[in-house]
Amino acid sequence: MNPTNNELVVGLVSVSDRASGGVYEDKGIPALTDWLASALSTPYRIESRLIADERAQIEATLVELVDRERCHLVLTTGGTGPARRDVTPEATLAVGTKEMPGFGEQMRQISLRFVPTAILSRQVAVIRETPDHAALIMNLPGQPKSIKETLEGLKDEQGKVVVGGIFAAVPYCIDLIGGPYIETNPAVTAAWRPKNAQRPLQPKE
């Protein structure tokens, strides 16, 4: 399905052997869906997939979401630790054409505010390019609380940003790779762009 010119298409991929096998209910995709609903103020459509920790399946799913479903942004959750079955970063790097290391670095900086084991997380981000399309793919943590913290950042009691979340940089990244212009709810996350890349706010219909 081809998106309309202004429609953002977001792929959500939860990587979990047990959730995909029906052992327990997946929490990653609902957490991402709820967060996007609170953060995005422009039209978007979600394509979601719940799959096992199998590298070939992860790679095939990411390729499908970008090349066939024409996603502009793909967010994965799960499978980024040091265990033998954690292969999401390897699959992500395999399908990418450019690595974007700053996203993973910032995610670990945020998580280290809470747990020292954040250094065991191996989240990566890449751009996948085809001749006529490109998408940003990012690995996120597996827990809903951590997903929210890494996307949104940390704020003090007065609402001032203490540590910036990674999503603030996503809209401009999507601009640069030819995707739709993304506007966000600044109370959740304020999209940052240089002044020459900013557009006037669109009136609500």
Residue type at position 63: V
Q: What is the pLDDT of residue 35?
A: 97
At residue 121, what is the residue type? Answer: S
Residue 15 exposed, middle or buried by CB count within 10 Å (0-12, 13-18, 19+): buried
Query: Which domains occur in the chain, in start order?
Result: 8-197 (3.40.980.10)
Q: What would the two tokens of residue 121 be?
A: 């997380």
Give pLDDT tens digits for 127-177: 999 999 999 999 999 899 999 999 999 888 877 778 889 999 999 999 999
Full DSSP string of 2-54 = PPPTT-EEEEEEEE-HHHHTTSS---HHHHHHHHHHHHB-S-EEEEEEEE-S-
Provide the token pair at 163. Answer: 């540590």
Task: Say what the pTM is.
Answer: 0.93
For 117-126, the pLDDT digits (tens) are 999 999 999 9
Q: pLDDT tier at 17 (50, 70, 90 boundaries)?
A: confident
pLDDT of residue 21: 66
Quote the tokens at residue 58: 């992860």
Residue 81: pLDDT over 90: yes
Decide the pairing of beta strands 125-130 and 98-99: antiparallel
- Residue carrying structure tokens 């991402």: 32
| Distant-in-sequence, close-in-space partners of 112: CB < 8 Å, separation ≥ 6 | 118, 119
